[in-house]
Chain A
Amino acid sequence: MTAKHGTPLAVELKGIVKRFPGVIANDGVNLAVGRGEIHCLLGENGAGKTTLMRILYGLYQPDEGAILLHGNAVQLHSPKAALAHRIGMVHQHFHLVPTLTVEENVILGLSEGTGPFLCWKNTRAKIARLAEEYGLQVDSTAKVWQLSVGQQQRVEILKALYRNADILILDEPTSVLTPQEVAGLFRTLRTLVHDGLTVIFITHKLDEVMDVSHRVTVLRKGKAVATVDTASTSKAELAQLMVGREVVFRVEKSEADVGDEILRVSDLHANNDRGLPALRGLSFGVRAGEILGVAGVSGNGQHELSEVLAGLRRATQGQAMLEAHNLTQSSARAIADLGVAHVPTERIRMGTVPSMTIRENLILKSYRSPPFCRWSILNEKETYENACRAMEEYTISAPSDRTAAKNLSGGNIQRLVLARELSGEPQLVIAAHPTYGLDVGATEQVREVLLAQRDRGAAILLISEDLDEILQLSDRILVMYEGQSMGIVPTEDAELKTLGLMMAGSRRQEEKS
């Protein structure tokens, strides 16, 4: 298959398979990109986009499959090889050395011509020329840490262009840019392809796909679901492709016995790790005995929301009232003491101490008080019995309660976390991506546990990227987009198409909170 008038495709990936322990990141993916094309890779978090591009850049080796560049099969063993084949990549987390200057970063690793000593004149001239041509102006003698994020990205692009890249891969480039910078970037990209370069652009933002790309490939759960010409598709169609058409069988769920509102979030603002606003005035409420599912493509503030509510991140504005207490003013420990359970996304890093035993991990939050601790001494008998109970109730499978947490499978670790968090009969449960990376059995169990908590009368905030899961478990669905609520829908009224559009940024007509 060729793109235009018999010229071979710039990039062709055939049947790429990449496996990591426990998951198949790329499952027989085919990608065809023509020369002079801006091609978008669209999909949710975990769909396999970044993995695929890292294979193209030589950072990962595919388990199966072939890579063809301009019609020739190639082996890309390392980034050095990719660079030699004129592939450049702008990563999500920039590969720049902050203490070096722009020009030093640009020539890093290059061993061109003129002896060991550097003549900056030529380099600077070349950088200036490239910058001028493609709208990437930046002060080349400045140290990288002094530059804004947008400027740093320009340096990354310049790095690739300086090495005569003719295939440029960008991984979620706009997530760190202001709207003006995004416009500037797109201008640059258009100029680049006009000059014959090929651009592959990873994103999850439908607006951008429609704005700048020629063709789009949609990835979902490791498979390439469709490849379409942008001109002949629509946001709605793309949303549906991204999110999936199949609706898995519904889990048995009883009628919600809803009580009073337990959590009321008002006008919540918070920043992400880069200092950019992640929550921009989010407001909603959760009632006892219901599951409020938070849907949305990852990166729209969900992570920050769960951290703010758990006391691990400071809100810049707004409140989160748990009955009479304002969670935004409380510490993590205080929030836990109030009866808030947090099942974190990064269950290993945040949720467990890997080298400690199951028994010890189970009391990570409750070790300070009786019955586990009397006069500062930990009570062996109580902690042992607690562990036995927990292991039975949550079917944590391990040789003994003295097994170290790091030896447990992902599913068992999650069971451990649930056992710990839910043991105190919490009134609010914040579950962030609770089934991410788990096998089918563990997933089912986690879902049943959450439903059981809901039936007990807890208020549950379920954050997930798996829309099926949200649809199965939630009583109401809140869609987040760019840190705001696009609306709340009762599950029985929810349609996949509408949800997809909301996830892409269209606000729901009737505002129900």
Chain B
Amino acid sequence: MRMPSWLHIERRPAPPSWSVFAVSLGAIVLALLVAGLFFQAYGVSAFRAYGDILRGALGSRLGLTETVRRMIPLLLIGVGLTVAFRALFWNIGAEGQLLVGAVAGAGIALFSGLPDALLIPAMFLGGFCAGAVWGMGPAYLKAKLGINDVITTLMLNYVAIYIVEWLIHGPWKGPTMRGFAYTDRLPAAALLPAIAGTRIHWPTLAIGLAAAVILFFVVRRTRVGFEIRVVGENPDAARYSGISQVKITMLAMMVSGGLAGVAGVGEVAGIHYMLLSPTHISFGYGYTAIIVAWLARRNPLAVILTSFFFGVLMRGGDVIKVSLGLPFQLVNVFNGLILFFLIGSEILIRYRIRIGTAKEAA
């Protein structure tokens, strides 16, 4: 595009953090406004809709706890993604990592024969490892062979989906399930305890919160975190300092994939109590978490806030389904709009528009 000579778009050197916050907030507000217009066009009052969402998500004990329940996997995966994104690794495969984690968890619960006391820790560990492996494969391919991380992680999502499908229709099909495609209900000792009267499986939540705090510290203050940031920000400088890009990328993905795997265990052992169809285990948590991490600007602590926000949206989707008869897919409309406005607004952060004559060079 040829710009008129009086209009200059130039890179902004250092966006002050308040501007980043303000612009992000503005993007969300805009997105919700547009969604509101959409409601109106549909013949539904936007006020009523948003009112229902807020009331439904925050206005009652049930609502609040359901919001938190939705938040748990988003928190875990989101935190992991901030680490992956710091190493400039585009992990679109969190969905698959969650599923293999679920598989590992369910498998250990149903078939490992471990003593009861060890069952849950083993499940979390197994879920972490499964997710980690699922994530480290693409990391290796990228670091060693330069293969595009977006595609490999994306493809593995579907392989994971089919693994779950195969298991629930085949070898792991629960004999007690009367022909339905589920595994048996997990043994009692494998079920995650929940806060009384709610579906909040608090061990997973605790892991998520701990992970947010620990990883915040690790990325900022430890040697490894330093190396991850160098690799992500300037691979040349990393080479120059003798940092191994392969090792660091794989480490970052181990964490990211592992946390997603833990989220999978949480869903299976904390909510559904069995392994079931992939689309019921995860409602696109892996993809929504990308927005969660993006909005949090790769800050693990901020993920606590943003995952809560998206938890509200998801709970809101549940609520409107009943109160207004709008399908749950609405949540995707929110997600899509928010994401578009976020990335569209990035240009306001990265560049500024100046009107006038070119400055004399220094």
Are any A and B Cβ atoms less than 8 Å apart in their complex?
Answer: yes
- Chain A residues in contact with chain B, CB under 8 A? 19-24, 77, 312, 331-334, 336, 344, 349-356, 360, 364-365, 367-368, 373, 376-378, 380, 404, 406-407
Judge whether B233 is part of the interface by a CB distance below 8 angstroms: yes
Contact A353 B229, CB 8 Å, known A332-B242, A378-B222: yes
Q: Which residues of B sit under 8 angstroms from A21, Cβ to Cβ?
A: 361-362
A204 and B221 CA atoms in complex are apart in Å by 49
CB atoms of A22 and B362 under 8 A apart: yes
Task: Output the least CB separation between B118 and chain A (Å).
Answer: 29
Please, which residue of chain A has its CB at the minimum distance from the CB of B360? A19
| Cβ contact within 8 Å between A353 and B361 | no
Total interface residues in chain B, CB < 8 Å = 21
Interfacial residues of chain B within 141-155, with CB under 8 A of chain A in the complex: none
Bound complex: CA of A407 vs CA of B13, how far in Å?
6
CB distance A378 to B361 under 8 Å? no
Assess whether B237 is in contact with A353, with CB atoms less than 8 Å apart: yes
List of B residues within 8 angstroms of A351 by Cβ: 237, 240
Contact A352 B237 (CB under 8 A): yes
A350 CA to B236 CA, complexed, in Å: 6
Are the CB atoms of A407 and B362 closer together than 8 Å?
Answer: no
For A349, the chain B residues whose CB sits under 8 A away are 234, 236-237
Query: Which residues of A are found within 8 Å of B234, using beta-carbon distances?
Result: 349, 352-355
**Which of chain B's residues have a CB closer than 8 A to the CB of A77?**
2
| Complex Cα gap A312–B241 (Å) | 10
Q: Which parts of B234-264 form the interface with A (CB within 8 Å)? A: 234, 236-237, 239-242
CB neighbours (8 Å) of A368 from chain B are 223
* A364 and B230 contacting across the interface, CB-CB below 8 Å: yes
- Known contacts A376-B223, A377-B221, A406-B13: does B241 contact A365 (CB below 8 Å)? yes
A380 in complex: contacting residue of B14, B221, B223, B242, CB < 8 Å: B221
A333/B236 in contact, CB under 8 A: no
From A409, which residue of chain B is reached at the shortest CB distance?
Answer: B362
Checking B224, B226, B229, B242 against A336 with a beta-carbon cut-off of 8 angstroms, the contacting residue is B242
| In the complex, chain A residues whose CB is within 8 Å of the CB of B226 | 360, 367, 378
- Tell whether, in the assembled complex, residue A364 and residue B241 are in contact, meaning their CB atoms are under 8 Å apart: yes
By beta carbon, the residue of chain B nearest A334 is: B242
Contact B229 A406 (CB under 8 A): no
29 contacts between A and B (CB under 8 A): A19-B361, A21-B362, A22-B362, A23-B361, A312-B239, A312-B240, A331-B242, A332-B239, A336-B242, A344-B240, A349-B234, A349-B237, A350-B237, A351-B240, A354-B233, A355-B234, A356-B229, A364-B237, A364-B241, A365-B241, A367-B223, A368-B223, A376-B224, A377-B222, A377-B223, A378-B222, A378-B223, A378-B226, A380-B221
Interface centre among B222, B223, B362 (most CB of A within 10 A): B223
Q: How far is the CA of A344 from the CA of B242 in the complex (A)?
A: 15
> In the complex, what distance in Å separates the CA atom of A378 from the CA atom of B225?
10
Chain A residues near B240 (CB, 8 Å)?
312, 332, 344, 350-351, 364
CA distance A367 to B243 in the complex (A): 11
Most A-side CB within 10 Å, residue of B2, B222, B237: B237
Closest to B2 in A: A77
For the complex, what is the distance from the CA of A24 to the CA of B360, rounded to whole Å?
11
Closest to B242 in A: A333
CB atoms of A353 and B223 under 8 A apart: no
Query: What chain A residues lie within 8 Å of B230 (beta carbons)?
Result: 353, 356, 364
In the complex, A378→B218 CA distance in Å? 10
A376 touching B222 in the complex, CB below 8 Å, given contacts A333-B241, A364-B230 = yes
**Which residues of the partner chain A approach B221 to less than 8 Å between Cβ atoms?**
377-378, 380
Residues in B with CB closer than 8 Å to A378 are: 221-223, 226
Who on chain A is nearest to B237 by CB?
A353
